[in-house]
């Protein structure tokens, strides 16, 4: 299946589930129908997000036993990267098939993989993590659910902790286009309204993609208690 065909199929599933009022139900069919072949999952690169790698390297960040949460972990590459950097990682995805796939890919992993829903996370995650990483999840949620997702995500950050977000971006004059929907910078202000502080904001062309994609990379912190 070509890349265009995979993206078209993912958009068809999204439209079908959104019409039913089920914004997250489309992810499990994508992983289940992939039948264990990562090339059939449109967003699976089988490598850590290069924009996360560059950020960690530029900051010389090590986990040193601190806790980390990976939102929408997919097939686990970002979670494994953070574990290799010394974090104690919890990683979740709404798709049970994706989570089981992570277990097969990394049978000796120190990462705790879990099935979870960003719109209804477990109470035990509240302010539980020193570092929270989210990439490309908000941009596949309909606009009406983004503030709710942001509020729950921010709520996982411990006082003194950090949240790093990477997404497609667009300028106000740009069309929203198709899913994955690029976000406006003003939409990200919901993170600050939820109780964390913007520390760093970058806009850049992601040349790891072909064609290049306009990205936002934003780092936030929760003030110490």
How high does pLDDT run on average in the chain?
91
Judge whether 115 lies within some domain: yes
Backbone φ and ψ of 213, nearest 5°: -120, 135
Instruction: Please check whether residue 3 lies inside any domain of the structure.
Output: no
Q: Whole-model pTM?
A: 0.92
Name 90's bridge partners: 69, 112
Parallel/antiparallel/unpaired status of strands 183-184 and 112-115: unpaired
Is 150 inside a domain boundary? Answer: yes
pLDDT digit string, tens, across residues 39-53: 999 899 999 999 999
39 in a structural domain: no
> Mean pLDDT, to the nearest integer, of 180-195?
94
- 17 part of a folded domain: no
In a domain, 157, yes or no: yes
Task: Give residue-wise pLDDT tens across range 84-139.
Answer: 999 999 999 999 999 999 999 999 999 999 999 999 999 999 999 999 999 999 99
Interatomic CA distance for residues 156 and 163, integer angstroms: 9
Q: Which CATH number goes with the domain that contains 63?
A: 3.40.50.150
Q: Residue 116 and residue 28: Cα distance in Å, rounded?
A: 12
User: What is the C-alpha separation between 23 and 9, in angstroms, rounded?
Assistant: 16
Q: Residue 40 belongs to what H/E stretch?
A: none
Q: Classify residue 70: in a domain, yes or no.
A: yes
Residue 14 lies in a domain: no
Q: For residue 85, what are the domain limits?
A: 45-221
As for how many domains the chain has, the answer is: 1
- Sort strands 213-221 and 197-206 into parallel, antiparallel or unpaired: antiparallel
């Amino acid at each position: 299946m070509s890349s265009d065909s995979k993206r078209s199929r993912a958009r068809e599933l999204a439209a079908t589930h959104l019409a039913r009022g089920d914004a997250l139900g489309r992810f499990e069919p994508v992983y289940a129908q992939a039948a264990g072949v990562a090339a059939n999952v449109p967003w699976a690169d089988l490598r850590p997000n290069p924009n996360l790698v560059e950020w960690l390297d530029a900051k010389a960040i090590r986990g040193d036993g601190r806790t980390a949460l990976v939102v929408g972990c997919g097939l686990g590459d970002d979670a494994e990267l953070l574990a290799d950097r010394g974090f104690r990682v919890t990683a979740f995805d709404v798709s049970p098939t994706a989570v089981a796939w992570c277990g097969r890919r990394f049978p000796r992993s120190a990462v705790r993989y879990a099935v979870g829903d960003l719109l209804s996370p477990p109470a035990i995650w509240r302010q539980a993590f020193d570092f929270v990483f989210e990439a490309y999840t908000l941009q596949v949620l309909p606009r009406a659910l983004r503030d709710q997702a942001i509020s729950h995500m921010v709520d996982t950050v411990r006082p003194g902790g950090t949240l790093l977000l990477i997404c497609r971006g667009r300028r106000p004059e740009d069309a929203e286009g198709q899913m994955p929907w690029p976000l406006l910078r003003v939409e990200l202000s919901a993170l600050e309204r939820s109780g964390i502080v913007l520390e760093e904001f970058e806009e850049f062309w992601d040349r790891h993609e072909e064609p290049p994609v306009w990205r936002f990379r934003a780092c936030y912190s929760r003030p110490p208690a």
